[in-house]
């Protein structure tokens, strides 16, 4: 692969599928890490590298992968993503021709698809930027806040209420870590499988404020093992958000469809259309599909 980087190598769709496959294989090499998968933290890397977009100024987004640089790498919201960047760095060594922006967003796509989620249409074309392209702190959501903050952050990226709710369903995956965000615990009982359980649990469980010395978070009354952030809970309190949350709790197919569309759009924020190598995004195959 190294030789390829040195020449005028033009990667094909098959080459990107190879990178996808390598990422997919890596997910399960997590061993004792968290719930045994690097999938959730790779989804979070893809999201935080894209969610800095500001539609007014056209700055931020996934194009330049500026989280490689300080101070963006050290922004509080990005705590713990050094783990994800480290995993991706190994893949980059193997496929040096891929840009960091393409690699990180492809990591999110592979993680969602391999964890039984919907297909996420994706295409390459992002280029590596410089430290001067890094975004200011405060562009990503703050979990302690309410609906006004959520709207301010996501409207700035160009998303509407329905898309805010759909994207939030990614919290079916992964967990909070006290040494990263200060919060603790998973949102669902199956944090390495992509489902609509996040919405079901929001409605079906009774949520109470956890009594502890950490930041304000909710716990399910029944088992006390699951959590919701204040910003998650807002999705069943705000009337407009609640309508969509209920629809996703009732219909996993609808959630999968809407999540796929919103996440695919998120991953392309800030990338000039002319940079994409293909006019239409691709659906890359899962490892399972390639075995058939
Ligand atoms: Fe999130 N998220 N997120 N999130 N997120 C955390 C973890 C994960 C917020 C806060 C947190 C999205 C939206 C929001 C994932 C994906 C997505 C953590 C815990 C906090 C805090 C970090 C830690 O301690 O390790 C807030 C606030 C919002 C919001 O206001 C909407 C979105 C839109 C996505 C997405 O992917 C589309 C994932 C996955 C994780 C689990 C990471 C892990 O390591 O596990």
pLDDT in tens, 215-258: 999 999 999 999 999 999 999 999 999 999 999 999 999 999 99
DSSP characters for 65-121?
-GGGSTTGGGSGGGTTHHHHHHHHHHHHHH-TTS-HHHHHHHHHHHHHHHTT-----
151 lines ligand 1 (CB under 6 A): no
Beta strands in 122-221 (DSSP E): 175-176, 185-186, 207-209, 218-220
Which domains are assigned to the chain? 2-140+262-291 (1.10.520.10), 147-254 (1.10.420.10)
Q: What is the pLDDT of residue 6?
A: 56
CA 129 to chain centre: 21
Q: What is the pLDDT of residue 8?
A: 78
Q: What is the pLDDT of residue 292?
A: 75
Q: What is the pLDDT of residue 4?
A: 56
Pair of tokens at residue 102: 């393409």
**Which atom of ligand 1 is nearest the CA belonging to 191?**
45
Q: What is the pLDDT of residue 255?
A: 98
Given the residues 48, 75, 171, 196, the one annotated as active site: 48
> 119 Cβ partners below 8 Å, 6+ apart?
113, 260, 283
Name residue 218's beta-bridge partners. 209, 228
141 lines ligand 1 (CB under 6 A): yes
181 lines ligand 1 (CB under 6 A): yes
Helix (H) or strand (E) holding 161: helix 161-168
Note if 187 is an active site residue.
Answer: yes
Note if 97 is an active site residue.
Answer: no
The residue whose CB lies within 8 Å of the most ligand 1 atoms, and thus the one to mutate among 149, 160, 174, is 174
Q: What is the pLDDT of residue 150?
A: 98
Q: In what order do the strands lie in the sheet with 207-209?
A: 207-209, 218-220, 227-228
Q: What's the gap in Å between 279 CA and the centre of ligand 1? A: 30
183 lines ligand 1 (CB under 6 A): yes
78 lines ligand 1 (CB under 6 A): no
Handedness of CA 32, 20, 89, 76 (dihedral sign): negative
The residue whose CB lies within 8 Å of the most ligand 1 atoms, and thus the one to mutate among 33, 39, 44, is 44
- 18 and 37 Cβ atoms separated by less than 8 Å: no
pLDDT in tens, 169-190: 999 999 999 999 999 999 999 9
DSSP state of 52: T
81 lines ligand 1 (CB under 6 A): no
Q: Round to whole Å and give the CA distance between 182 and 168.
A: 19
Pair of tokens at residue 65: 């992968």
Q: What is the pLDDT of residue 57?
A: 97
ipTM value, please give it: 0.99
Pick out the chain residues at pLDDT < 70.
Answer: 1-7
Phi and psi at residue 186, to the nearest 5°: -90, 160
Closest C-alpha residue for ligand 1 atom 21 = 181
Q: Which residue in 13, 17, 27, 19 sits closest to 1, CA to CA?
A: 19
173 lines ligand 1 (CB under 6 A): yes
């Amino acid at each position: 692969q190294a030789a390829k980087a040195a020449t005028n190598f033009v990667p094909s769709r098959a080459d990107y599928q190879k990178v996808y496959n390598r990422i997919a294989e890596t997910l399960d090499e997590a061993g004792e890490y968290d719930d045994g998968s690097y999938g959730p933290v790779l989804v979070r890397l893809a999201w935080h590298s894209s969610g800095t977009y500001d539609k007014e100024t056209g700055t931020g987004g996934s194009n330049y992968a500026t989280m490689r640089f300080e101070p963006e790498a050290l922004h509080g919201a990005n705590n713990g993503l050094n783990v994800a960047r480290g995993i991706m760095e190994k893949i980059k060594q193997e496929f040096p021709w891929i840009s960091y922006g393409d690699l990180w967003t492809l990591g999110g796509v592979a993680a969602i698809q391999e964890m039984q989620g919907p297909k996420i249409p994706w295409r390459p074309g992002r280029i590596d930027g410089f430290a001067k392209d890094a975004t200011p702190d405060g562009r990503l959501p703050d979990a302690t806040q309410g609906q006004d903050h959520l709207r301010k952050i996501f409207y700035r990226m160009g998303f509407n209420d329905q898309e805010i709710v759909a994207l939030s369903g990614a919290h079916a995956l992964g967990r909070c870590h006290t040494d990263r965000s200060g919060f603790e615990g998973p949102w669902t009982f199956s944090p390495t499988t992509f489902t609509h359980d996040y919405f079901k649990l929001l409605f079906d469980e009774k949520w109470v404020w956890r009594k502890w010395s950490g930041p304000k978070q909710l716990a399910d009354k029944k088992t006390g093992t699951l959590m919701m952030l204040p910003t998650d809970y807002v999705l069943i309190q705000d009337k407009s958000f609640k309508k969509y949350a209920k629809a996703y709790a009732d219909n996993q197919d609808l959630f999968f469809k809407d999540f796929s569309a919103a996440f695919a759009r998120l991953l392309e924020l800030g990338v000039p259309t002319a940079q994409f190598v293909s006019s239409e995004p691709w659906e890359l195959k899962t490892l399972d599909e390639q075995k058939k």
